[in-house]
Chains A and B, each alone.
Chain A
């Protein structure tokens, strides 16, 4: 079974700074990788699919990259509304989420 590992578990960033989140798959998932954002008390929201395609309505400051086993979500300039937990999810096989990265205010 594929294992999805996200790092770091917590990322402390100041508003306006860049945030880089990593997601690693234990075996190749090609480009079948999505990113979600979840705020407290809310359902997740799809940000990125196909490793690098922004979902409808997602601001351009969110970008995804990678393929195979190594993926990155970059938030170019953190806004106050971006502090949240981010999950990667592979859908190459049975869909699996990573453990999440919490982006908190530094």
Chain B
């Protein structure tokens, strides 16, 4: 059974850097074809992909946010970390980490519960 859980601050100030950790079980990021993604959802709004990382350390970023995002993995800890710099109130959202389907690339077959991050001074 695949499980994922996001952790990190619930409140950050404008201009600060957000660091979120996804801790997962039920799969290994050292297995060929496996990937983890981060997606966010502002309150009452639609979903937005942020970043992906694959078993071979291939990393992909949202074109509109690429300059602010960094995704890394720690295979030994079963963790993926997302950092987002220069946070703004418009970045207030629920942030999800997710397991990428091995059947249909860049779709999600398992999600974390999400963590709400509020950006406010």
Taken together as a complex, chains A and B put the C-alpha atoms of A43 and B49 apart, in Å, by: 14
Residues on A with C-beta less than 8 A from B12 are: none
Residues on A with C-beta less than 8 A from B103 are: 49
Taken together as a complex, chains A and B put the C-alpha atoms of A83 and B112 apart, in Å, by: 22
Contact of B63 among A1, A87, A91 (CB under 8 A): A1
Q: Determine chain A's interface SS by DSSP, over half rule.
A: loop
Q: Which of B79-121 contact A (CB under 8 A)?
A: 96, 98, 101, 103-109, 111-114
Taken together as a complex, chains A and B put the C-alpha atoms of A87 and B108 apart, in Å, by: 12
Q: Are A46's CB and B46's CB within 8 A?
A: no
B74 at the interface (CB under 8 A from A): no
Interface size, chain B (Cβ < 8 Å): 21
Taken together as a complex, chains A and B put the C-alpha atoms of A87 and B45 apart, in Å, by: 11
Residues on A with C-beta less than 8 A from B11 are: none
Q: Are A94's CB and B62's CB within 8 A?
A: yes
Residues 15-57 of chain A, each 1 if its beta carbon lies under 8 Å from chain B, else 0: 0000000000000000010101000000111100110010110
Q: Are B104's CB and A95's CB within 8 A?
A: no
Q: Are A94's CB and B63's CB within 8 A?
A: yes
B48 at the interface (CB under 8 A from A): yes
Q: List the B residue with the shortest CB-CB distance to A87.
A: B47
Q: List the A residue with the shortest CB-CB distance to B114.
A: A43
Taken together as a complex, chains A and B put the C-alpha atoms of A43 and B94 apart, in Å, by: 10
B59 at the interface (CB under 8 A from A): no
Q: Are B101's CB and A100's CB within 8 A?
A: no
Q: List the A residue with the shortest CB-CB distance to B106.
A: A91
Taken together as a complex, chains A and B put the C-alpha atoms of A46 and B108 apart, in Å, by: 7
Residues on B with C-beta less than 8 A from A100 are: 46
Q: Are B104's CB and A49's CB within 8 A?
A: yes
Identify 16 residue pairs between A and B in the complex whose beta-carbon atoms are under 8 Å apart, listed by A's number.
A34-B104, A36-B47, A36-B108, A43-B96, A43-B113, A44-B47, A46-B107, A87-B46, A87-B47, A89-B47, A89-B107, A91-B107, A95-B49, A95-B106, A97-B47, A99-B46
